[in-house]
């Protein structure tokens, strides 16, 4: 049987970049070529394969089912090539990029990273902050840390739970002193982050309490700003234990009702079917750290 020549590598690369970015112009910028060059490469690839990979007007092209499947496989293949090249370089340490919830990175992950570095001096960890859904084909990440609910299963991703989720109200010692009542808590200004506006409703349902309408609500863009506002005495906030453990331990924040365990967990995500020993090491380290990470000192108590 006569073998069929594979498509040109440049055409495959151009198509994968277009599929990942969703735009010829952005793909062209990444590849340091012109918009027209990317367009011609995609057209040449379709002609070579005899399959339609994109459809639609020139400025609003979308992937066909065949195009989407090819793009997903190419992303894994090119990532594997990149990993192989990195591994072959001498005298260079492997760098992995991990996307992480910003407050979790600041309060939990980064303080523990020196321990990972001591165990794996040949692996550099670059931490990028994001709350967005993870797309490994688009973002070229090696892993990500997010909060997942039971049954949440992302496509083409491996998810490894490594830390339990606890949540409870916190505030400055002068605002939420130990022994305060639920009624007093209900009269305080309620702080929340725009990334989790429903925090008070979720906590109230979780522990089975009914709070009156908030006298005042104050919203912050991120959890870290919300936590700092709580420490400054601006009101009470519902926060994960992992986000506030250092501040509660130091006495900057008080958790008068303790923390209740939620069914959601912190998970480590990685691309499916993309072997990488450095990512394996980071995942295993997270699991080990999560297993010894101290839980909240006080569980939920409505008394």
| Residue found by looking up tokens 């990488």 in the block | 276
Which pTM value belongs to this model? 0.70
Domain assignment of residue 279, yes or no: yes
**Residue 37's CATH number:** 1.10.10.10
Same domain flag for 42 and 117? no
Which tokens belong to 15?
């198509």
Domain assignment of residue 2, yes or no: no
Domain assignment of residue 296, yes or no: no
pLDDT given for residue 90 in this prediction: 47
Q: Rounded CA gap, 209 and 199, in Å?
A: 14
Same domain flag for 227 and 192? yes
> What residues have CB less than 8 Å from 212, skipping those under 6 apart?
186, 187
Domain assignment of residue 4, yes or no: no
Domain assignment of residue 160, yes or no: no
Closest CA to 222 of 244, 241, 196, 248: 196
Same domain flag for 57 and 205? no
Same domain flag for 257 and 282? no
| Residue found by looking up tokens 């039971």 in the block | 150
Q: Rounded CA gap, 250 and 67, in Å?
A: 54
What is the number of domains present in the chain? Answer: 3
Write down which residue in 88, 108, 125 finishes a domain: 88
Same domain flag for 150 and 273? yes
Domain assignment of residue 35, yes or no: yes
Same domain flag for 144 and 180? no
**Residue 131's CATH number:** 3.40.190.10
Same domain flag for 274 and 150? yes
pLDDT given for residue 154 in this prediction: 79
Domain assignment of residue 247, yes or no: yes
Q: What range defines the domain where residue 21 resides?
A: 9-88
Asked whether 263 and 161 are in contact (CB, 8 A), the reply is: no
Strand order in the sheet with 123-129: 123-129, 94-100, 143-148, 260-271, 157-170, 236-240, 190-193, 217-220
Supply φ then ψ for residue 235, to 5 degrees.
150, -165
pLDDT string in tens for the chain (303-residue length): 455 677 888 888 888 888 888 888 887 887 877 878 888 888 888 888 888 888 888 778 888 888 888 888 888 887 777 766 666 654 455 899 999 999 999 999 999 999 999 999 999 999 999 888 888 878 889 999 999 988 887 778 999 999 999 999 999 999 999 989 999 999 999 999 998 999 999 999 999 999 999 999 999 999 999 999 999 999 999 999 999 999 999 999 999 999 999 999 999 999 987 889 999 999 999 999 999 999 997 766 544
């Amino acid at each position: 049987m006569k073998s069929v020549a594979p498509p040109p590598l440049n055409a495959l690369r151009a198509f994968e970049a277009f599929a990942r970015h969703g735009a010829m112009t952005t793909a062209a910028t990444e590849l340091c070529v012109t918009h027209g060059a990317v367009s011609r490469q995609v057209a040449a690839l379709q002609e070579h394969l005899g399959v339609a990979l994109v459809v639609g007007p020139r400025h609003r092209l979308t992937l066909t089912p065949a195009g989407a499947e090819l793009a997903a496989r190419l992303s894994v293949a090119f990532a594997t090539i990149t990993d192989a090249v990195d591994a072959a370089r001498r005298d260079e340490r492997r760098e992995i990029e991990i996307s992480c919830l910003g407050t979790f990175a600041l309060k939990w992950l980064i303080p523990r990273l020196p321990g990972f570095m001591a165990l794996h001096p040949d692996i550099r960890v670059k931490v990028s902050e994001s709350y967005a859904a993870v797309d490994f084909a688009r973002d070229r990440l090696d892993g990500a840390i997010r909060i997942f609910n039971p049954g949440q299963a992302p496509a083409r991703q491996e998810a490894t739970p490594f830390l339990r989720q606890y949540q409870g109200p916190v505030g400055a010692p002068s605002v939420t002193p130990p022994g305060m009542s639920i009624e007093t808590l209900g009269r305080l200004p309620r702080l929340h982050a725009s990334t989790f506006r429903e925090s008070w409703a979720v906590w109230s349902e979780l522990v089975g309490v009914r709070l009156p309408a908030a006298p005042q609500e104050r919203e912050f863009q991120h959890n870290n700003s919300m936590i700092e506002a709580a420490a400054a005495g601006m009101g009470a906030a519902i926060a994960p234990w992992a986000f506030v453990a250092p501040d509660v331990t130091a006495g900057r924040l008080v958790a008068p009702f303790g923390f209740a365990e939620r069914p959601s967990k912190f998970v480590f995500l990685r691309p499916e079917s993309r072997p990488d020993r450095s990512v394996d090491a980071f995942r295993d380290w997270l699991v080990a750290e999560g297993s010894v990470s101290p839980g909240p000192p006080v569980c939920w108590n409505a008394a």
